[in-house]
Each structure stands twice: as structure tokens, then as C-alpha cells.
Amino acid sequence: MKKIELHLHLDGSVNLTLASTLSKLDLNIVKNKMIAPLKCKNLGDYLTRFDFPISLMQTKENLELIASKLVDDLINDEVIYAEIRFNPLAFTSTLTLDEVITSILRGLSNKKIKTNLILCMMRGYNYDDNLKIINLAKKYLGKGVVAIDLAGDEKKYKLKEYLSLFEYAKSLNIPFTIHAGETDKIDILSAINLGARRIGHGVFSITDDNLIQKLRKKDILLEVCPTSNIQTNAFNTYLDHPIKKLYDLNIKINLSTDNMTVSNTTLEKEYEIVKKYNNLTDLDLLKMNKDSIDYAFLSDLEKEELRKQLDILD
């Protein structure tokens, strides 16, 4: 099935074989460093698996190679459009922010599928560092960058600390999505009130009828990544995951991987998982893909082109 991937972290999706080549470490060692177990202690524990791939992402050449290989992996997964996100400041131990963006864009260019970038501000970063990320997004908006995001540990750092940054981004007309409600419902209301059209995860809305109503009323799409949610202990098992309940409550859903390597998954695997454990059908998944196109950070013309590609499979 052709697929739309809207929630994918570049540093969490570094190809294992490429990581082994770049680090000159045995593939099994690389796997141990990068793949999180199916049960982490919590989100913070899961996030430690990003340290090693980020250490490999400090040169122009490596960034280009990693981005290029990721697109090849997405093509193998029958993804026809992907929005790839990362925190650009994580790759600047020697590079400038411009070098980071241009290297990654070089890796994404000349491929069979369309991809765009989302730049992640970080929970825990100070105001000035996150401001740099917004200004970088503004500079490259429409030139490969399509939006900003806020990522990181939501248990430690609440969205309310970052509201003024989002207000600034809104004043610059930069689209945004926000990680919220991944392991706790607290931030979902703040994200809704900010005017987010998409929320990263947002799955804890299932615990609050009021939030469900608000998501529906404001027509907000959730970017849902089941395996990642099981790993961070948001839910105990796949059977406990609320994706089907949310879908049945008419919440718009994009099914994504979050991190292909850290979560040791592909989008095809996630599709198989929700069919097997959550009783979703191919038809449901097709609807999710159509909804995902509606909410992609793309022009109407680009969306129409993607719809045609999906329809070929109908």
C-alpha cells in the first residue's frame, strides 16, 4: 500500500548498515546502541538511543548520506511522501546551521519521491536556542522546510513554557505541529488552544472526553506512532493502544513510524500491527492516507498530485 509518513525523526531513522559503515563499528554493536527495547523505562530512557546516531551526524558528508539513504528506505517502504523532522542544533558541533540544512537537502534531492523538512525546537532548550530554529525555518521556508515542531521530554518540560515561541512563529506564518499528549494529556489542551492543526501523538486525549470533543470540533489530525508508544510505556501492549478507538471517534489520524531505527520498524510493519492488533482494515488505512494528504504541509496542487498517486491503487 502506498503511504504518507508525516512523523519521522531523521536522527531516529539512521540506516543501521550505514551507521555501521560510518562509525566503523560492528553491526551488532550499532544495533545495541540505536534500537530501543520494546519496553523502555519511560520516554526519557527511549530518548537516550538518539545519542549515538547524533554523534554520527556532525559532518556535511554524513548528513547527506544519512538523508539520502533514509529516502531510499522510505521508497522501499512504498512511502510516496514524507515529512522528515530533526533538531538542527543537534548537528552543529562543527557545522553551521546553514551547512546542516543544505547538506540534508542535498541528500533528499534527485529522488523518486517528494520529501520536506520540519525543524524541531526542543523542550529543555532555552528561548534563544529555540528562536534560532524558528528563524532558520523562516529562512528555508518553501525551500525544503515546511514547518516547525516542539520535541523532547514532555514530562519534564511543559508546552506552556514555549507558547511565546509559537506565537512568534505564527507571526512569521510558519506552519507548525507539536509533540503533545505522548505520555500525558496535560499539553494537548495547550496545543489545541495554540491553533495546532496537527499534534504529534496526542494519544492521551483518549483519557478525556472533553479533549476528544475539542479535537473533533477543531478538526485536528493526530500523528500516531504505535510501536514508539509501546516502547515509551505510554501503553502496555499493542492491544491497549487507542488508535482504533480514536479512529472510531472520528478523530483524523496519520499513521507514522516516529523512528524507523530506534523503534526498529517500518511503516509497512506499523500497518500490519494495527491490522493485526487493532482491527483496522486496508480501507481504514486508505482513509488515513487521504486525511494525511489533507493535513500535509503542502500546496493544494502538490496535494492533488499525491491524491492521484494514491487513487491509482484504489
What amino acid positions are annotated as catalytic residues? 182
Closer CB to Zn ion, 22 or 181, in the complex = 181
**Residue for grid cell 479535537:** 215
Give residue 108's identity as a one-letter amino acid code.
Answer: L
Q: Which of residues 202-261 bind Zn ion (CB under 5 A)?
A: 258
Provide Rg for the chain, Cα atoms.
Answer: 18
Annotate each residue in 72-111 with x if it binds Zn ion (CB under 5 A) or - if it does not, as one string.
Answer: ----------------------------------------
Q: What Cα–Cα distance (Å) separates residue 237 from each residue in 11, 44, 222, 251, 307?
A: 25, 19, 20, 21, 33
CB of 7 to Zn ion, least distance (A): 6
- Please state, in angstroms and rounded to a whole number, the distance separating the CA atoms of residues 210 and 247: 16
CB of 60 to Zn ion, least distance (A): 25
CB of 217 to Zn ion, least distance (A): 25
- Please state, in angstroms and rounded to a whole number, the distance separating the CA atoms of residues 162 and 176: 13
Closer CB to Zn ion, 105 or 262, in the complex = 262
CB of 35 to Zn ion, least distance (A): 16
Closer CB to Zn ion, 191 or 310, in the complex = 191
Q: Which residue is nearest to Zn ion (CB)?
A: 258
Closer CB to Zn ion, 102 or 241, in the complex = 241
Asked if residues 73 and 260 have their Cβ atoms less than 8 Å apart, the reply is yes
- Please state, in angstroms and rounded to a whole number, the distance separating the CA atoms of residues 295 and 202: 15
Closer CB to Zn ion, 77 or 258, in the complex = 258
Q: How many residues contact Zn ion, by CB under 5 A?
A: 1
With b for 16 or more beta-carbon neighbours within 10 A and e for fewer, the 83-117 pattern comes to: bbbbbbbbbeeebebebbbbbbbbbbeeeebbbbb
CB of 265 to Zn ion, least distance (A): 13
Annotate each residue in 250-269 with x if it binds Zn ion (CB under 5 A) or - if it does not, as one string.
Answer: --------x-----------
- Bridge-based pairing of strands 145-151 and 114-122 is parallel
CB of 200 to Zn ion, least distance (A): 5
- Bridge-based pairing of strands 114-122 and 3-9 is unpaired
Closer CB to Zn ion, 11 or 258, in the complex = 258
Which spans of this chain sit near Zn ion (rule: CB under 5 A)? 258
